[in-house]
Amino acid sequence: MKSLGIVEYRSIALGLQAADSMVKAADIKLLISQVVCPGKYIILFTGKLSSVKAALEVAAKPPLDTVLIDTYLLGNPDESLIPALYGACEKGNPEAVGIIEGYSVASIVGIADEIVKTSPTKLIEIRMARGMTGKAFALFSGELAAVQASMEKAKGALLENGMYLHSAVIPHPDPQIWEAL
């Protein structure tokens, strides 16, 4: 995967229209194009960087811009990102677990990518708005200090764009919690 684009709308109708316009305008491949709670529409797609940028430009044109919640462009996404969206990652080190929760799927996916690229933490899972009133969250594991630093960094980044909700670090999670992840 060369580049990954993420778009999030608060309209199902215009979200689906946007997905169609994007694939017609740029050489991209849809990975996810679906409805999530509460009536949001998310689109994740891949392609060459120039194609992904072109699709993101289409995604923000009128009238789509009136229902656009968030977008994110990842130039070289971490290889664990897509498996994390499906809950298919290895859990890593059980010394600590970090959870970052936000209002935007696009922002959570973007910050998850940044964290795993810049820290010795491991991405466990990303959950995208289904059954969570539109929220999203990402789970990480690793050594306590690394997880704590990563959650502070993620919190700061999400606060900047108004998408932060909560975060937590669980040192030495109980085996029942670890298995439930």
Instruction: Point out the residues of the chain with pLDDT beneath 50.
Output: none
Task: Please give the pLDDT value at position 19.
Answer: 97
| Domains parsed from the chain with CATH numbers | 3-74 (3.30.70.1710), 81-180 (3.30.70.1710)
pTM of the model: 0.87
pLDDT at 125 (0 to 100): 93
- Give the pLDDT confidence score for residue 11 in this predicted structure: 95
Q: Name residues whose C-beta falls within 8 Å of residue 122's C-beta, 6 or more positions apart in sequence.
A: 80, 89, 90, 91, 92, 93, 116, 140, 141, 142
Q: What percentage of residues in the chain have a pLDDT greater than 90?
A: 77
Residue 87's pLDDT is 81
